[in-house]
Amino acid sequence: MKESTYTQGCVIICVALFLSALNSYGQIEDYSQWAHSKDITINTTASGYGINQDVRNFPYLVRLNADGFDFSQAKDNGEDIRFANSDATHLHYQIDSWNKAGKTAAIWVKTDVILGNNSSQYIRMHWGKSDASDSSNSRAVFETGNDFTAVWHFSSSSAFSDATANAITLTNNSTNAIQSSIIGEGRALDGTANTNLASADNPNLSITDYLTLSAWVKPIDANTDQKVMGKSTWPPAGYLIGINIGVDPEFWDASGANHRPSGGIIQSKRWSHIAATWSKGGQMITYLNGEQVNSIAASSSDLGTNTNPFYIGCAGWDQGSLIFNGEIDEPRLEHTARSADWIKLGYLNQKPVADAAPTIMYPDKNIVLLFNQPVEVIPAVTGLIDSITIVPPTMPLGLFFDTYTGSIKGNTMSDLFFESYIVTAYNDKGFDTDTITITISPTSILTDINKSCPCLIGIKGGDLSKIHFSVPSIQKIRELTFTLYDCKGAVIWSSQLGGSMIKPGIQSIRVDGNDGLGAGIYFLEMKAKGFGSEVYPAQNIKTIVVR
């Protein structure tokens, strides 16, 4: 059945006047003969992509999955897919990936114009014609006339081929395919010498006036100097983009002057979109995830040229230097300085959209640490993650929470700490939470912590003049009872606190009459009561030995 959002009268007009169109290879096609169609709205208002200016000749990425597309209605490899404007004019497209069994696809569609601040514009997808031949055409989408110099998708059918007519093919030097990358397939580099992708020297790569470099990267460690791609040599000449904590582009003009507007903070083991533009005599601008993070004046001189290959994954002057370790996808070189709106739209359009809520789970929900202990706790996370929060937000002194990965790292500097935390991972489809507790004890405290009890108790050595205890801020305790026993179970001392005497944080209570204990073994017990009928199991200090 033909699916459409048009009114019946409009469909009649469109069939009569517009549905006959030339496809990517100049053949006339009547889209009224396709069984199915679907409108894809492109919202550039603040509630969508947030683009204010019109963007022309933009390759728009269309992702398909089982939620919004029935793969059984199309041919096995998507040969019958077509795209058209709202007036039914054919739009050139390229199928980047098509997985009928996995029910996913990624398709680039060349739009004539994407209007700024508009929520009603759309393109129409047609499918369902058994005798249709493949009309996918990468060179018509990524036209050299639209300033695309080289575009590498890394798709399985042509992993190292350039999507443009320049046909700048890469040679693979020990990189590995990644099946589920940011868009279809990508490449993994292990950071060892001579692991890279390289093209032979090509006149189209010797750009001296206006250019844009961009790629998706997922580094293992973003805090080391690594080169992502470029065409450079030493003594310095040319251009490249890399990472070093943030985005780190370097362009050299013909005099050898270095231009390096680094900026932003890239997260390790997370996908980031990096870009840099150069306008001779204007500005050199650096972008991270669609946002400008730095800019400097660009030289009025030409960029320096060289005869080195274009490398992906290492410095242009040395295949064993500044090697990238991680994953790369969709590297592009363009012979123009793309606008800020173009780069923002590219990031937001290419950024994956979650198909399910994320999950987050810590391997140990009760993290027990000693003072001055190195810590690295990493949760198991599934699905796409937009952000991760922790409540309360204050960590023990010396520990740090990563809002991108949910990991807890550092070196403990608190000598007594106890807190319960709620960690939440978010994406567009929903959220997931996990609850953890962090306990830090001085090395002189012997404790047997019952994990069900929300408080921590402790003593220092054999001195029972004070008992230290901590109540987490998100727990509500109305009564605490402390009892000291000797080795025969006889009660030596007991005390009870309640009401306003119990406050969140670390506190202490004096043990009257017990400034010193004789030699022996002692036990200390704490019982906690919550509000209502909640009674927590008793918590015991395992053994106190006094010699």
Would you state the pLDDT for residue 535?
62
User: Residue 510: which pLDDT band, with cuts at 50, 70 and 90?
Assistant: confident
Least confident of 20-24, 268-272, 299-303, 494-498: 20-24
Of 239, 196, 197, 189, which is closest to residue 218 (Cα–Cα)? 189
User: Residue 473: which pLDDT band, with cuts at 50, 70 and 90?
Assistant: low
Would you state the pLDDT for residue 372?
80
Would you state the pLDDT for residue 491?
83
Tokens describing residue 17: 């006047």
Q: Is there a contact between 305 and 220 (Cβ–Cβ < 8 Å)?
A: no
Q: What values do phi and psi take at 16, rounded to 5?
A: -70, -40
The HSE-up count of residue 146 (CA atoms within 13 Å, CB side) is 20
Q: Is there a contact between 473 and 504 (Cβ–Cβ < 8 Å)?
A: yes
Q: Is there a contact between 80 and 74 (Cβ–Cβ < 8 Å)?
A: yes
| pLDDT of 24 higher than 70 | no
Tokens describing residue 459: 């003593």
Would you state the pLDDT for residue 15?
35
Per-residue model confidence as pLDDT tens digits over 318-344:
999 899 999 999 999 999 999 999 999
Would you state the pLDDT for residue 453?
41
Task: State the pTM of this model.
Answer: 0.72
Residues 6+ apart with CB under 8 A from 405: 267, 268, 269, 270, 378, 379, 381, 388
**Is the torsion defined by CA of 320, 324, 329, 335 positive or negative?**
negative
Q: Is there a contact between 461 and 546 (Cβ–Cβ < 8 Å)?
A: no
Residues 6+ apart with CB under 8 A from 394: none
Residue 384: its H or E element: none
- Do 354-443 and 444-547 have matching folds? yes
444-547: which CATH number, 2.60.40.2550, 3.40.50.150, 1.10.10.10, 1.10.10.60? 2.60.40.2550
| pLDDT of 462 higher than 60 | no
Alpha-carbon distance 515 to 210, whole Å? 79
| pLDDT of 399 higher than 90 | yes
Which is more confidently placed, 390 or 267?
390
| pLDDT of 486 higher than 60 | yes
Which is more confidently placed, 469 or 238?
238
CATH architecture for the domain at 142-353: Sandwich (2.60)
| pLDDT of 495 higher than 60 | yes
Return the number of other C-beta atoms located less than 10 Å from residue 171's C-beta. 11
| Integer CA distances (angstroms), 376 to 152, 325, 441, 455, in order | 37, 21, 17, 23
| pLDDT of 373 higher than 90 | no
Residue 230: its H or E element: strand 226-233
Query: In angstroms, what is the C-alpha Rg of the chain?
Result: 31
Domain boundaries, the chain: 1-136, 142-353, 354-443, 444-547
CATH of domain 354-443: 2.60.40.10
